[in-house]
Structure 1
């Protein structure tokens, strides 16, 4: 059993965040060097496998299988500090906790994820989980998405996507495709008016994958509304408002009625990161995109959704970042050059229909980085099996236990 720390203590490594990145990197470090004194700072009692929530919202996965107690996934030799972070003092190698304690370190790893800013959309928090408004970005709401999809008998279905960066940039449209596929199979799609309002100007950030996605957009009869940002919701009235930017950059407020709304909130750095010396101008934890080390504090690394690197914010990205941070951090402890460079790898299994997935894998600059020697633009049953069956098992039994199967960045 792992220890639970109750008093101030120094550690070789302090890991801020007990999500996918934090637990994974802690396990990987302890596999490399079991004697390291590592503390993981994480306030939540539960740990979630978030990539499956899209499948939950599509009726293809049991939500109960996406959560385990944090204590059950915490590496046995790590110390779990069950507390929230208040701030960083990197000049003195200290993390300040919300309960007043201070924790000092030799090396710091920053990976607390990001903040789902539901509050940035007026009225959204008050209506989530009722009045036809849901989101696969929350454990308790993904089952409601499926309830809405299953009960939908026609009308206006709105799906939204906020400005980048967000975690799993494909998730907003994956929810839409699975809903439309269900409606197509049940004869409801012909009575549906489906709209995708996205704040950006492109359907997907890597151009290679736009044509196969557009074929499904056309198949389902989806209306795409680019440069359209959800700003307010009135659940009881079934109305949503969007700020829409035209070609000249002028913004107008557009009101839409809905029978179902799948809303994705704006996503921001946590305030304790944004307001710290570790942040870049946008508020993310600043890192060198290749080594994942902070450019100003040589004993600070970052990974996961909180970092400034331009990679896709996905669990698959964290899986490869873990190797770079674990190897490079130990090299720094030992006084050697950092041996591993992260290539920006991220993966987005695009669930275009139930049973088939376009497996988008790419790195910095949109470079394709496929794991398998297959055309990545073709929707495949094998990719669905990977997403729905293999990857959850690999996550719980591999990634969180420091097993780095297929995780080393290419070229290292």
Structure 2
């Protein structure tokens, strides 16, 4: 007895990521816009790591000191945003009239939306550090009377450590600082929310921060629960006195707003490989046909288990398309001579790492015909070429009708098994 089935062998890779896109930071008199891009693609070498990877070109502090950021899993960007002193900075002034920094270090949520499906997810971002280069209107030696440039920079500012390599609390030391006669480059980490202040010890007629570096941390959704495609959203910050980035009342920004435009690119894999010849399925009883042919003992059932290998990083659904349908059954196979038909049942067992939507393992899960009856499954981690089984069976209650002593018959039919990532 022969049964012919046709099984799909899909290799579905969704998403449109073609390479790293350049970051655009456009400065105007009104605002600065900065794109933040991250990518998820499954990694067969590390299937348990279900994380987005930063694809924003690094600039500023993390480009110059990559180990500092790599150890803390942060990334930095240099913005073309400057701050100019609106008035001289006086010695021992109040915090708002000194070199003050209040940075948005708390986690801030934003919604990203899939451009094609309309699905939404929540991303969280926090500013993990900031830095710049202050440029004095005169040399540190002339402003303080110190003997050397480094001594001048240290003497110019009160507080622990003097110079700006030592952060003003609650900001934290980053381990770097560079200087010349009239400038000092710094970067401070921001582990907690607070105001960090350096107070001048000598009058400073004028001062500039000539750029803004910032490092950021992201909390992204589990990409295995997201559909393929581009998710976009933005978050905006006010810059200046009383804003999210508040540098006090003396140092005023060139731009009043900063908008971070997020692009999360999700590229999933769904690939199914069936061994050569696996598209031809022959149903046989346990132990073969000998008991029926020689002793007339009817088989309890006819069946065949067909293995396949599956790679999956996203939700998918499975369903059948039947060449022959006969109510109340989904698929039937037919003896073209007698015109008799019998029910064919198809079920699936999926490997560890793939479950139904309630998290239950998938063992001999019945598949049905038609989109309305599709079964949905999801990965707990990226499954790479793991073995699954398609179970084909003629149920026992059909055997009495199917087998007649002394009557040879051949039942055939095509069944299409569909793995579909569009759920």
Structure-1-length-normalised TM-score = 0.18
Q: Which has the higher strand share?
A: 2
Q: TM-score, normalised by structure 2?
A: 0.17
Q: Which has the higher helix share?
A: 1
